Structure 1
Amino acid sequence: MDKRTYDAHAKAWACIENHEASREGDLVRKARAIAAARRLDPGSAAEGALLNTFTRMSGASSVIAIGTGALVETAQLVTGLHGTGKLTAVDSSAQGAAMVRALFDAIDDRTRTTLRVVNADPAVFLPRLNGDDYDLIVVGGEPSNYGAAYEQAPRLLKHGGLLVLTNALAMRGKDSKGGLTNPADRSPMATMMRELTATIEEDERFTCASTPTGDGLLIAAHC
C-alpha cells in the first residue's frame, strides 16, 4: 500500500472509532468515565462494540473476562449478555478488582446476569474452574494473563467457544514502541504476543483470525 492508502486506513479507523463511541450505552459510558478518572486506558470503543457483538452472536451464557481494571470491556460483555448468564471477571490487581466490583455493585439490581469478581492470578484461578463450561474468554492486561488463559482455554471452552485476545498488536502500554508493527519492539508485551500468536496459529485445537480493531484482536475458536 502507498502512503495515500495508509492515510485513508488511518482515517477509516478514526471514523469507526468515533462512530462506535457515539453509540455506547449508559453502562459503558459510566465505565469509561470511571476508567478515565482513575487514569486507566479505557480501551477502544470499536473493540468494545465487537466484544458485545461476539457475546450476542455466539449466544454466550458463560463468560470470563481477564484483565487489569478492564472496566469498559467488562461493561460491554455485561451488555452483550443482555440480562442473562454469568460473567466472571478475573483481575490480579486489588485496585482493578475493586473498581470492577464497584461497577458490578452499581448495576446488580438492573440485570439478572450473575456477576462475580475474583482478585487472583489467572494462572492460579483458572485451573479451579469447571471444564467445558464457558462460551467466551476475553483477555487483556498484563502479559502473564495471556499465556495463562491460552493454557486453560481448550479445557474451559465449549466446542465453538471463543478465546479473544485484546491488545493483540501490543500497542497499548507504557513500554510499547509500536508493538508488532515495529520489529525492533522487544517490550515484554510485544515479545509475548509474537510468540503466543504463532503458537495459537499452529494449534490445531483452534481456528483463528486477527483484526486491527482497537489495538488488535486475535480471535480463536475452539474446534
Structure 2
Amino acid sequence: MSPPPAGPSPKLVTVNVNTGSALDAVRSYINGTARSDDALTEARTAASEFGLLYPDAATGEFLTFLAARPVAGAQPGAVVMSPACGVIGLHLFAGFPDGTGHVTCIDPEVEHQKLAKQAFTSAGRRPTSFRFVPSSPLDGIVRLATDSYDLIIADVDPELLTTAVDSSLPALRQGGVLVLLDALLDGAPGDPARTDRQAEAARAVEAHLAGLRDTGTVETARLPLGAGMTVVTRR
C-alpha cells in the first residue's frame, strides 16, 4: 500500500498555561486563603522583625503537603537549613501525622534557634520533636546519619546550591525529597543577560541535577513557588 499523503505537521497544544498576570492572581488567591494559626502568625512576625526571609503561604502549603506523605517504618524526619527554621518547621509539623515527626534545624545563629524554639513551643510541640545543629548548613548536613531523613529543605546562597545537593542526598532515604527554595532566582538561569555569579550558580545546579537525573540517581521538578523552587527526589 502506498503511504497516506503527508498532511500538515501536528501542532503542540499546551493546556492551562497562565500568563504572568494570571499566575500572579493564582498566587495571590492561594496566599490569601491558605490555612494559618496563631503560632504561625507569631513566627512570621518574629522572623520579619529580625529581617529574615521566610516562604510565602503558597510555598508553606506545599511544604505541609510534602510532610504529609506516608513514610514506611520510623516516624517521619525532616531537616531544615534556613534562618527561618521556625516558620518552615511549623509548616512541616502541620503535615506530619498527629504526634509524630521530628525536625532538625541547621543554622549557626543562636537568635534564629531561639526564634524557632519559641515557635515550636507555642505550637505545642514537645522538646523531643526537634533539635538544633549550631553549624553552617553545609558543615551540619554532612554530620547527619545517612539514609535517615524523608525531607530536607534547603534555603542557601545560590553559590552553595550544587554542594548542598551533593551533601544532602546521602542523608535522604530512598524516595526522600530535597527542596531547594528560590533556586531559580525568578528565572535568572534562562536570562542570557544575567552573567553574575548567582545566575551562573543557578545554571550550574540545573546542569548538575540534569546529570544526576540522567544516571537515574534523582528525579526533579521545578515549580513557580517563591522565586522558583526545585524539588529533587532520591531514587
TM over 0.5: yes
The RMSD of aligned alpha carbons is 2.5
Q: Counterpart of 1:37?
A: 49
Pick aligned residue for 2:58 from 46, 54, 61: 46
- CA-CA distance at 1:112 after TM superposition: 7.5
Q: 2:104 matched to 1:88? A: yes
1:121-136 superposed matches below 5 A: 121-136=136-151
Is the contact made by 1:43 and 1:214 (CA closer than 8 Å) also made in structure 2? Answer: yes
Q: Distance in 2 between matches of 1:70 and 1:189?
A: 23
- CA-CA distance at 1:64 after TM superposition: 0.5
Q: Secondary structure at the match of 2:19?
A: helix
**Structure with higher helix content:** 1
Q: Secondary structure at the match of 1:128?
A: coil
Aligned length in residues: 212
Amino acid at match of 2:68: R
Q: 2:135 matched to 1:120? A: yes
Q: Counterpart of 1:147?
A: 162
Distance 1:75 1:145, change over 3 A: farther
- CA-CA distance at 1:153 after TM superposition: 2.7
State the TM-score, normalizing by the size of structure 1: 0.83
Q: Counterpart of 2:21?
A: 7
- CA-CA distance at 1:187 after TM superposition: 4.5
- CA-CA distance at 1:26 after TM superposition: 2.7
Is the contact made by 1:67 and 1:142 (CA closer than 8 Å) also made in structure 2? Answer: no
Pick aligned residue for 1:193 from 198, 202, 205: 202
Q: Secondary structure at the match of 2:52?
A: coil
- CA-CA distance at 1:111 after TM superposition: 4.2
- CA-CA distance at 1:5 after TM superposition: 3.0
Q: Distance in 1 between matches of 2:190 and 2:47?
A: 27
Residues 54-97 of structure 1: per-residue CA shift (max 9 Å, x gap): 01024471110111234322220122224312110111334323
Residues 86-113 of structure 1: per-residue CA shift (max 9 Å, x gap): 1101113343233223323444x54476
Q: Counterpart of 1:212?
A: 224
Distance 1:183 1:99, change over 3 A: farther
Distance 1:35 1:80, change over 3 A: same
- CA-CA distance at 1:188 after TM superposition: 4.2
- CA-CA distance at 1:145 after TM superposition: 5.1
Q: In percent, how many aligned pairs have the same letter?
A: 25
Distance 1:183 1:91, change over 3 A: farther
Unaligned runs of 5+ in 2: 1-13
1:19-30 superposed matches below 5 A: 19-20=33-34, 23-30=35-42
Amino acid at match of 1:134: Y
Unaligned runs of 5+ in 1: 172-177
